[in-house]
Amino acid sequence: MKKVTRRSFANTLGKGMAATALISPLYSSLAYSTTTTKKLGVALVGLGSYSTYQLAPSLQDTDYCYLSAIVTGTKEKEQLWKEKYNLAKDCIYNYGNFDTIIDNPKVDIVYVVLPNSMHADFCIRAAKAGKHVICEKPMAMNVAECDAIIKACEDNNVKLSVGYRMQSDPYTKEVKKYVMEKTFGDVNFVSSDAAYISQGNPNQWRLNKALSGGGALMNMGVYSIQTSIYGTGENPISVTAQEFSTRPGYFKDTDETITAQFEFPNGAVGHMMTSHNINGNRLKVHGDKGWFELDPAHSYGPISGRTSAGTEIKFPLKMQMALQMDDFAKHIQLGTTNMAPGEMGKRDMIIVEAIYKSIAEGGNKQLLDLGTMGIVS
């Protein structure tokens, strides 16, 4: 695979980006008591659409962290963001001077929001700078890179989380509660769709395998994998997968549509679909005493749910990214649960690799050994 440098990435940006998007001992250079209320400073690395329209606005609605710095390769964005978010001059970084962030006490957390091919590099460098790390999903290009990120964070005694916003959403917590308490009996089937129709610039990085590592599966597919798992409360023990393409002229380098079937230890089965050419946004869980569903299930909100008992699943709307980043800040300072640890990101990448392998082998079943990872839902 061709190595992607910051310069080549900047060139790719010029061609157009997509318009869419263990609790371990502390600490880094700062020590916190279990009763502290100090807000932690977050540096966003990469100011694409997700940072611009989701993360930065969400950081205006957080209780335990705030936007303290930015890292961008676009000179024009520096002044724009500085003025909009009242950022200090010494909190504006580019990809070339990023490592000097080690000297900035205003930055406690580095959130890497770059193309997938750059996750490992910047997560590792952030860890070496003594900063806690949030790595946007998917965690990396492959399992080996996930291992490298986890090791860097452990070696430098910093916390690591993956940008799974849904893990902090109340609807997800309600699904987990239904499954754990067997509200609708033992789960026997789960179906999850996470997909949208891509109509953007064909030169966007998500359609460039060297930058993305894959197509729909690496982008939306991780949501289907996640919901399939917390919809059953178990890690899958096998997967079989298929790939379909109806627009080969547009999806020249990455997968367009993928379906996969899971088997779970308790005998339940699951079906997932992910695509860049179909609209799909649903989770439905069938138990032996009824069913429940979220439709839409993976959106920024509002989400909507219902059950076979005729009840509506409904919670007040709050930005998932604000909940996600506050959860991580609380984990760092107060030792609360890490909702999306690095091991979870690694687990999902193991499943992604197994899906791609199944497709390459004509749909052969791939056995999964995830029981020793300690991460379930």
Domains and CATH numbers, the chain: 6-165 (3.40.50.720), 167-316+343-367 (3.30.360.10)
- Give residue 376's pLDDT: 86
Percent of the chain with pLDDT over 90: 87
Edge-to-edge strand ranges of the sheet holding 366-367:
312-313, 305-307, 290-294, 277-287, 187-197, 269-275, 257-263, 238-244, 366-367
pLDDT band at 36 (very low <50, low <70, confident <90, very high): low
Q: What is the pLDDT of residues 165-178, one digit of tens each?
A: 999 999 999 999 99
Residues involved in catalysis: 137, 223
Q: In the predicted model, what is the mean pLDDT of residues 116-141?
A: 98
- Give residue 373's pLDDT: 79
Average pLDDT, the chain: 91
Cα-Cα-Cα-Cα dihedral sign, residues 141, 297, 202, 56: negative
- Give residue 371's pLDDT: 79
Q: Is the peptide bond before 138 cis (omega within 30 degrees of 0)?
A: yes
Is residue 2 over pLDDT 60? no
- Give residue 16's pLDDT: 36
Is residue 92 over pLDDT 80? yes
Q: What is the pLDDT of residues 286-339, one digit of tens each?
A: 999 999 999 999 999 999 999 999 999 999 999 999 999 999 999 999 999 999
Residue 161: strand, helix, or coil? strand
Q: What is the pLDDT of residues 194-242, one digit of tens each?
A: 999 998 889 999 999 999 999 999 999 999 999 999 999 999 999 999 9
Tracing tokens 């003025």 back to the chain, one arrives at 83
Higher pLDDT, 44 or 373: 44
Is residue 35 over pLDDT 60? no
How buried is residue 8: exposed, middle or buried, by Cβ count under 10 Å (0-12/13-18/19+)?
middle
Higher pLDDT, 14 or 212: 212
Is residue 150 over pLDDT 90? yes
Lowest mean pLDDT across 9-23, 30-44, 137-151, 244-258: 9-23
- Give residue 8's pLDDT: 46
